[in-house]
Amino acid sequence: MRKLALLCIFAAVCCIALAAGVFLRPAPAADPASGSVSAPASSAPDPTAAPSPSPAPTPSPAPAGPAWPPLATPFTLEGLSTERLGWGQGKQVNERNQPIGAAAYQEKYSQWGGVFLAPEAETPTVYLTFDFGYETGYSAAILDTLKEKNAPATFFVVGSYAENNAETVERMLAEGHTVGSHSATHKDMTALSDEEARAEITGFNEQFAQQFGVTPTLFRFPEGVFSQRLLALAANEGMRSVFWSYAYADWDASAQPDVAESLSKALAAAHPDAVYLLHPMATNSAMLGELIDGLRAAGYQLAAL
């Protein structure tokens, strides 16, 4: 009888525990919008849920510009040559595919701030530069391509362009490009007095600083015409005078060269420390993306001066 009583008590306890489990289980959650109920939330992942999108890749940072050697300014202008010199890179090249003329002028005129080849970089580098004298209608497309390709460039603008196209210049600066001076009024500097030539530099710089809050440190002589004395004069105003080691006949809007031929020519001319001179014209706008891709495929990086 005692064993039977203990069995009855044990059975009663089990029934009470079972009943408590049923009545104390949380009720299903109700959807406040529809009033329907749903199963309790689970911490296990839902195998049917769409995977979270991967974060977009971060573009590689633009390579730093060249390491410019110091200039021993101020220079004494007296005794420096005023001979009018025109610049073109010529066709003969050295073993690195650099124009021999550019290498020779770099050695001869670099002490006064002349730049015909950029300072040597650890990675073979091409510097794309554009001369903007007036709006040709291709500025936005060129900037769009550079942005798409994450390719920094250098723009040399005339004073009137900066004044009349402030939004474009602001975009150049905002998107990481370098903007330099192409003089205040695009005059032949060798035909000017020292005072007039200096005003072409300082006048532009003052206007640019007032408009955009920065002062350029790079200068490109109109039409590439210069003298030894003018190089020193520009350096005394804090300016390096940038020429080029590759250019071609791209400046005539009414006689634009063939896109495919121009692209082939520009790629074949690639060399370390190259400074390319381009104008914002139809052919260059059309081939720019392929030019950037082709230079990178050949092992060159692109940087702004």
Which are the catalytic amino acids?
131, 279
| Residues 6+ away with beta carbon under 8 Å from 140 | 168
The span from the CA of 63 to the CA of 146, in Å, is 14
The span from the CA of 260 to the CA of 286, in Å, is 10
Residue pointed to by tokens 């220079």: 75
The span from the CA of 242 to the CA of 156, in Å, is 10
The span from the CA of 276 to the CA of 264, in Å, is 14
* Under 8 Å between Cβ of 216 and 222: no
Nearest Cα residue to 260 out of 272, 271, 270, 268: 268
The span from the CA of 194 to the CA of 179, in Å, is 24
